[in-house]
C-alpha cells in the first residue's frame, strides 16, 4: 500500500525525518524504494541529469508524464510526486489544473510539485480544491534561474528572508501539503520549519528541515560533474560502473569475453545433422 501525504505530515508531527530522492526511471525507482525511501520526486531536473540540457527549461509536460509513469509502474509503496515543468501552470490556475490533471491521470502520481510562493497561492488553492495534492517549492526555483541570474542561495539579506517567510506561510494556507526549500540559508529554513504545520523538505537548506531531498545521481556519483556543495556522495557507484565498463571493453577486445560458458549448446546429433545438411 502506498504512502500518502498524510504519512509525510505524521512524520513531521512525530519528529521522524523524511528522506526523499529523485527518480527518473525504473532502475533508480526500484533501487530507491528497496532501500526504504518513502517518497520519490520525479523532478524536472531530469532535463539536466537525463537529457543533458543545462537547465530544466526545455522539459515538457509529456516528457514528465512519461518518466513519472515509469516510476509509478515499478514501485508499490513510495509516494510519487511529479514536477510540473516550466510554463505548464503559470499562465492561470486553469492551465495548472489541466496540467496537474494529466499528471495524475496519465502518470498516476500521488501529488504534483510546482514552484512559487504567494504568487502561486491561488493556483495551489485551485488544485487542492479539486483533490490534487500540491508540494510547493521555494528559494532557488530552477525554472526561474534566468531571473535569478544563476543558481544563487536565497535568504541572505533581510528582504529576501522575510519574503521567503511570507511565501512559506502563503503556500501553507493555500493548501500545500509540504514545501521544498532549495538553496535557502540555514537560519531562514529553520524559522520556516518552526513556523509551518506542513513538512519542509530541504535541498541545500541546512539540517533543520523536516526532511531532505537529493538527486539520485548526485549521492551515487553517477556523472562527471562535480557534486554540488549541498550534496554528499554516499557511494561512488559511478567509478565502479566506469571500471566495470572498461573491463568489459578490454575483455571483448582481448577475446576473453564471451567464453563457452556464456553461450548456449545444441545436441551433438542436431549439430552433426546440420553440418551434414550444409555440406
Query: Mean pLDDT of successive 10-residue segments in the chain (279 residues)?
Result: 97 98 98 98 96 94 98 98 97 98 98 97 98 96 67 90 98 98 97 98 97 97 80 95 97 96 94 86
Residues 86 and 159 in one domain: yes
Residues 131 and 257 in one domain: no
Using DSSP's 3-state secondary structure scheme, residue 15 falls into coil
Q: Which contiguous run of DSSP H or E holds residue 139?
A: strand 134-139
Nearest to 18 by CA among 26, 9, 27: 9
Residues 121 and 248 in one domain: no
Residues 19 and 76 in one domain: yes
Domain that holds residue 172: 5-235
Residues 217 and 200 in one domain: yes
* Euclidean distance between CA atoms 173 and 178, whole angstroms: 11
Residues 217 and 259 in one domain: no
Residues 88 and 129 in one domain: yes
Burial class (CB in 10 A: 0-12, 13-18, 19+), 217: buried
Residues 86 and 197 in one domain: yes
* Euclidean distance between CA atoms 103 and 148, whole angstroms: 28
Q: What is the pLDDT of residue 150?
A: 63
How many domains is the chain built from? 2
Residues 255 and 225 in one domain: no
Q: How many CB atoms lie within 10 A of CB 249?
A: 11
The single residue of 173, 182, 269, 278 carrying the catalytic annotation is: 182
* Euclidean distance between CA atoms 116 and 168, whole angstroms: 10
Residues 208 and 245 in one domain: no
Q: Evaluate whether 190 touches 208 at the Cβ level (below 8 Å).
A: yes
Known catalytic residue at 182? yes
Q: Evaluate whether 127 touches 134 at the Cβ level (below 8 Å).
A: yes
Residues 138 and 271 in one domain: no
Examine residue 258 and say whether the peptide bond preceding it is cis (omega within 30 degrees of 0).
yes
Residues 153 and 80 in one domain: yes
Amino acid at each position: 500500500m502506498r504512502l500518502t501525504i498524510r504519512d509525510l505530515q505524521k512524520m513531521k508531527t512525530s519528529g521522524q525525518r523524511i528522506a526523499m530522492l529523485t527518480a527518473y526511471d525504473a532502475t533508480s525507482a526500484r533501487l530507491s524504494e528497496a532501500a526504504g525511501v518513502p517518497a520519490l520526486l520525479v523532478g524536472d531536473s531530469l532535463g539536466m541529469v537525463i537529457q543533458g540540457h543545462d537547465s530544466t527549461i526545455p522539459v515538457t509536460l509529456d516528457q514528465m508524464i512519461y518518466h513519472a509513469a515509469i516510476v509509478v509502474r515499478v514501485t508499490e509503496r513510495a509516494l510519487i510526486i511529479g514536477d510540473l515543468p516550466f510554463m505548464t501552470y503559470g499562465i492561470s490556475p486553469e492551465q495548472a489544473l489541466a496540467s496537474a490533471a494529466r499528471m495524475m491521470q496519465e502518470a498516476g502520481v500521488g501529488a504534483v510539485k510546482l514552484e512559487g510562493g504567494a504568487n502561486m497561492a491561488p493556483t495551489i488553492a485551485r488544485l487542492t480544491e479539486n483533490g490534487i495534492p500540491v508540494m510547493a517549492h521555494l528559494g532557488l526555483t530552477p525554472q526561474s534561474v534566468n531571473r535569478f541570474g544563476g543558481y544563487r542561495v536565497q535568504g541572505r539579506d533581510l528582504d529576501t528572508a522575510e519574503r521567503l517567510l511570507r511565501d512559506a506561510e502563503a503556500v501553507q494556507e493555500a493548501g500545500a501539503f509540504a514545501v521544498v526549500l532549495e538553496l535557502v540559508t540555514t537560519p531562514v529554513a529553520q524559522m520556516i520549519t518552526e513556523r509551518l504545520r506542513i513538512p519542509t523538505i530541504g535541498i541545500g537548506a541546512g539540517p533543520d528541515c523536516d526532511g531532505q531531498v537529493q538527486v539520485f545521481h548526485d549521492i551515487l556519483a553517477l556523472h562527471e560533474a562535480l557534486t554540488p556543495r549541498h550534496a554528499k556522495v554516499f557511494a561512488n557507484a559511478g567509478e565502479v560502473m566506469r571500471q566495470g565498463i572498461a573491463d568489459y571493453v578490454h575483455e571483448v577486445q582481448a577475446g576473453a569475453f564471451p567464453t563457452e560458458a556464456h553461450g548456449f549448446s545444441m545436441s551433438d546429433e542436431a549439430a552433426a545433422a546440420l553440418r551434414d545438411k550444409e555440406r
